Structure 1
Amino acid sequence: MPAHILVHAGSYTPDTGGDGTGLTALRLDPATGAMTADPGLPDVPVSGPSFLAAHPSGRVVYCTNEAESGTVSAFARQPDGGLTAVGEPLPSGGANPCHVSVHPSGEWLLTANYGTDTAPGTVGVHRLDADGVPVELTDVVVHEGSGPVTGRQEGTHAHQVVTDPEGRFVLAVDLGADAVFAYRLDTAAGTLEQAAVSRVTPGSGPRHLAFAPAGDVVWIADELSSSVSGLRYDTATGTLNPVSRTPATMAMGTPNQPGGIVASPCGRFVWVTNRGADTVAAFRVSGAGDILYPIAETPSGGEWPRGLSLAAGHLLVSNQRSGTLAALRILDTGALEQRAPAAAVPSVICTVTVS
């Protein structure tokens, strides 16, 4: 078994409605699933780090600072794995940034801004310098649209922005518009040009997507309809074509909002966190690769599981309301098992593991 794995966790802070301190460093024991805070790496104070991402080089970690005047921050990784802030937080290009990713070139930072009841969802692009530090906001695109769910879909709410596996298109998932926007990124200017808009089931509230390893299928966690949608992805046009929908939980009658979604590198399984049922649901992928069949649901190790990420044969589950970070071992069947107690991380919502 490899040595303990360093994991960085982000938590809501008092100024963003939580009890966390910002960024916390923990060690994951791959043999047992035990997670413990690293006493040699003190917490890093930062406001509301609601999503984390790492530069392809592993030298820099980024976070969104979720507030109405949204910003993004960058941290250089030190030889011991600790994080040190570099540069100043930069405007994210919108309100309440909730997701950030790095373009595969390592030259651009992409941020999804959820917006507010009156401010639309947007996607911001930042240029990264040779050290991976954000230096300027080069573009902001504003989403248009709405959905039928009162109180959640009067306007657009960008919730995730990722680059497809071939690097052709940048996809932005919008919960408020029931849509996935596809953009071409001009890698010289850092600007986005809309290539396609794929409308999904009205009222489903798409939150996050995960690509199948082959890149031809996308799985979407539908926050508002408590489902998981399977869609065929056209790599030539950036469009998505719905194929299937599966309930995210078997706990029928329990108000539930799917949060994080992960597809296995082998392509056989998909996992989704269920906020309400407080489980992580495991699904088997059909032979055709675009339909899901439930395998099992495992308690999430706490309450209100939000973030979900892969690390050393485990899924790390950020249980926001209980303030617990659990490591669930992935079994050969795709089912999950918790073998060690969850670690206490107040208001934890996301993690990143940097190789």
Structure 2
Amino acid sequence: MPTRSSADGILVLTGSYTPDSGGEGAGLAAVRLDPENGSLTPDSSLPPVPVSGASFLAAHPSLDVVYSTNENESGAVSAVARQSDGVLVPLGDPVGSGGANPCHLSVHPGGQWLLTANYGSDTTPGSVAVHRLDADGRVSGLTDVAIHEGSGPVVGRQEGTHAHQVLVDPAGRFVLATDLGADAVFTYRLDTRTGTLEQTAVSRFRAGSGPRHLAFSPGGELVFSADELSSTVTCHRYDADTGTLTEISSVPATEAKDITNQPGGIVASPCGRFVWVTNRGAETVAAFRVTGTSLQPIGEAPSGGAWPRGLNLAAGHLLVANQHSGTLAALRILDTGALEQPGPAAALPSVVCALVL
């Protein structure tokens, strides 16, 4: 989906937890980003779309279609289409995700398959699901579910598996799924004829680290992980022939002391020089400089609210979704990789993610 901008600014679609998923949000809502001053304004011309538990959004690579998780125990995924007048409308009914509490999804580069990470629950293991996408982008049949196995040492968080992200590597060869409960990344090959997954490898992380999200360097040689349970950011070497990760170095996600901190979103700059991570607890976005295969802290900026979760690049800014304060903020990226403190944020109850349209 190509980025749309106008005199009114850049269109951003946000996702939030709704009352039926433990939040207070509307589901999907549109705002406008002014790239000159970083201000964010709700777009009243585009009414909200009531998607249950819209905790992560992904755009189709060639169609005006956006996909959303429905993060709840029953688990589903939804598609919305952008009409010629810009209004977003549901594209078919929600489709079961093949597991509980889907929290991340991505579209395979070919545009024919939707990949979903199901976090799972106390009774349901984490898993990765595949759905076929029709020619108009509609979600059709569930073609496969790969169930994860494993656990970790952190009581209350790692008794079982919890898939937290699923993405395709830059070469399009492997599907990678992080698992917070198993301290691992599971590697698959996707059969693009049948929509089935074949597990080919498992990359083991430090015990108790709880990998949440990954970000690739522009060339794909390095992978950076936001480790939720150990509050670290780790640099890994990526083997494009096997789809495996090997840890090289690791640094604390925040300089704040004597607090419980959980890294959330992670983004690498297109130039490959910087990495940014949200810190839930410290309530900051931390900036790091990539020096060879190590990360050097640059500094931290306030996130513009409380419990910063989703993080995304937009026109020289970082969009930060602050779940507990219900605010979406834009932090300007300086040439050094450091971040300017955000200006006034947009009020969006229970917002957790943002996607540039």
TM-score of the superposed pair, with normalisation by structure 1: 0.98
SS at structure 2 position matched to 1:15: helix
Runs (4+) of structure 1 exceeding 2 A deviation are 79-82
CA distance 1:264–1:2, change in 2 (3 Å): farther
- Structure 1 CA distance, aligned partners of 2:302 and 2:118? 30
- Structure 1 CA distance, aligned partners of 2:6 and 2:24? 33
The answer for the alignment partner of 2:141 in structure 1 is 136
The answer for the alignment partner of 1:80 in structure 2 is 85
Unaligned runs of 5+ residues in structure 1 are none
- Structure 1 CA distance, aligned partners of 2:92 and 2:25? 23
The alignment's C-alpha RMSD in Å is 1.0
Deviation digits for residues 39-68 of structure 1, max 9, x if unmatched?
A: 111111111101000000141000000011
The answer for the alignment partner of 1:194 in structure 2 is 199
**Aligned residues, how many?**
352
The answer for the alignment partner of 1:61 in structure 2 is 66
Q: 5 Å matches for 1:132-211?
A: 132-211=137-216
Shift of 1:228: 0.4
The answer for the alignment partner of 1:297 in structure 2 is 300
**Which moves more between the two structures, 224-233 or 339-348?**
339-348
Q: 5 Å matches for 1:1-355?
A: 3=7, 4-286=9-291, 288=292, 290-354=293-357
Verify the 8 A CA contact 1:147 1:177 in the aligned structure 2: yes
**Which moves more between the two structures, 276-285 or 9-18?**
9-18
CA distance 1:58–1:331, change in 2 (3 Å): farther
Shift of 1:339: 4.9
- Structure 2 CA distance, aligned partners of 1:339 and 1:347? 19
SS at structure 1 position matched to 2:137: coil
- Structure 2 CA distance, aligned partners of 1:2 and 1:269? 28
- Structure 2 CA distance, aligned partners of 1:301 and 1:335? 15
- Structure 2 CA distance, aligned partners of 1:326 and 1:76? 26
Verify the 8 A CA contact 1:6 1:81 in the aligned structure 2: no
- Structure 2 CA distance, aligned partners of 1:113 and 1:188? 23
Shift of 1:88: 1.2
Shift of 1:157: 0.1
SS at structure 2 position matched to 1:214: coil
Shift of 1:253: 1.5
Shift of 1:340: 2.4
Shift of 1:192: 0.4
Unaligned runs of 5+ residues in structure 2 are none
SS at structure 2 position matched to 1:87: coil
TM-score of the superposed pair, with normalisation by structure 2: 0.97
- Structure 2 CA distance, aligned partners of 1:13 and 1:130? 30
